[in-house]
Structure 1
């Protein structure tokens, strides 16, 4: 890998037509982010499929790249978007979600301060249709998340992690080494989170880092997402992958830290 660090945070968004009309809100939240001198963001929007319904909502901004591809689900779209992720860090942002002011700068500061930390997550508020927000009880303490801590909690709490995968901020090289997102119809982001936690230390910010929109059309609200048979299969492969990574002992950082 190149030793030259490109001081750019890549925002990766998978989108399909039903959620495209939320892109302007996501863009507004990006424009409110302030990064340290010398840093910038680049938003890569990858449509899951090829239609004429998404492009009209894509902002006209040189910091925004829009691509399309064969449909394969959000994990496939995000992984394809990595081809255009030319910065050192990657931040996930779903098309219907928003970043509160300061979210990118906090994650960046945490990983820049400690090169042994591979990824960061943050507190989430649900954004309800009436514009109000709801938080969660049980967030971990602000600070490092040790290897294996998320997997252990997730296994003991009905496959629910104490940190939210939709808030992931991760080193690009580490993300690539793990193969991007899992090839699953759902829970592909949970699979990535647990793989990261099996191989590297993380960070949790107790300040709000995501407004997670709740609306009738979101994928996690559909009946197929909670089908018991499929959910059990998804959770089984997610867990086995994470435990296999831990068993084989691969970890970040490995060797010299650049």
Structure 2
């Protein structure tokens, strides 16, 4: 029997054109024996502008729903997730070769790990890439480490939340992605750090596309009042979870 890893993608009309590149990166994944991927694509909205870009593949499940931004779309998409593990992939990003296999190896080799993440490269409009020079070393990330780094570095994460792969039951226990207008994946990462150990792979696992239409490039994303509010609730939630002494994934 084939086991599944579910890749969840929220998409809206402006980013739909990039689904072809995301799909090509999925097709390029060499999966471990006995494993395959399922791609859950959830439109943030109910337009006719996204469906034409959804590839014809039996492993793909496409859904639509009321607009609520990426957090809502991804969480609604979980209703169709059949995998033991859930990998997030933004519609405009691409997986690097071997990304899914490395996630699966880390999480199946060590049941105490709740999540995995990896090195990311910004993918610029001219096709060049830029890396991050403060990645942690490859290996386990102890509970609370990412949260403390984030708090001590002006709320900038040590690892990229867009690369997360999470055990499905842990993702559901935490309520999916935070209901925020942005930084919903950072909210999930900090909650995961508060309750479980993770893994960092030093191999590049994601190409993070930089382009004018991406949500994080919009002026509203940089609004300081909203940023402070987003991160205040992200931090409060993570600290509340950390204070619940009996709530630990994997007993570590």
Please classify the TM superposition score into its range, dividing by the shorter chain length. over 0.9
Cα distance in 2, alignment partners of residues 253 and 62 from structure 1? 34
Report if the CA contact (8 A) 1:6-1:88 is conserved: no
Partner of 2:210 in structure 1? 214
Cα distance in 2, alignment partners of residues 122 and 36 from structure 1? 18
Partner of 1:142 in structure 2? 138
TM-score (norm 2): 0.98
Cα distance in 2, alignment partners of residues 117 and 254 from structure 1? 10
Partner of 1:36 in structure 2? 32
Partner of 2:181 in structure 1? 185
Tell me the secondary structure at the aligned position of residue 151 of structure 2. Answer: helix
TM-score (norm 1): 0.96
Cα distance in 2, alignment partners of residues 45 and 16 from structure 1? 10
Asked if residue 98 in structure 1 is aligned to residue 94 in structure 2, the reply is: yes
Report 1:1-258 matches (<5 A): 7-249=3-245, 250-253=247-250
Report if the CA contact (8 A) 1:6-1:87 is conserved: no
Cα distance in 2, alignment partners of residues 156 and 139 from structure 1? 15
Q: In the TM superposition, what is the alpha-carbon distance from 1:254 to its structure 2 partner?
A: 5.1
Q: In the TM superposition, what is the alpha-carbon distance from 1:6 to its structure 2 partner?
A: 6.9
The unaligned stretches of length 5 or more in structure 1 are: none
* Moved >4 Å (runs of 4+): none
The alignment's C-alpha RMSD in Å is 1.2
Cα distance in 1, alignment partners of residues 133 and 207 from structure 2? 16
Report if the CA contact (8 A) 1:151-1:198 is conserved: yes
Tell me the secondary structure at the aligned position of residue 224 of structure 1. Answer: helix
Cα distance in 2, alignment partners of residues 254 and 85 from structure 1? 26
Tell me the secondary structure at the aligned position of residue 94 of structure 2. Answer: coil
Q: In the TM superposition, what is the alpha-carbon distance from 1:33 to its structure 2 partner?
A: 0.3
Spell out, residue by residue over 1:221-249, the C-alpha distance to the aligned partner (whole angstroms, 9 max, x if none): 00100101010000000000000000012
Tell me the secondary structure at the aligned position of residue 137 of structure 1. Answer: coil
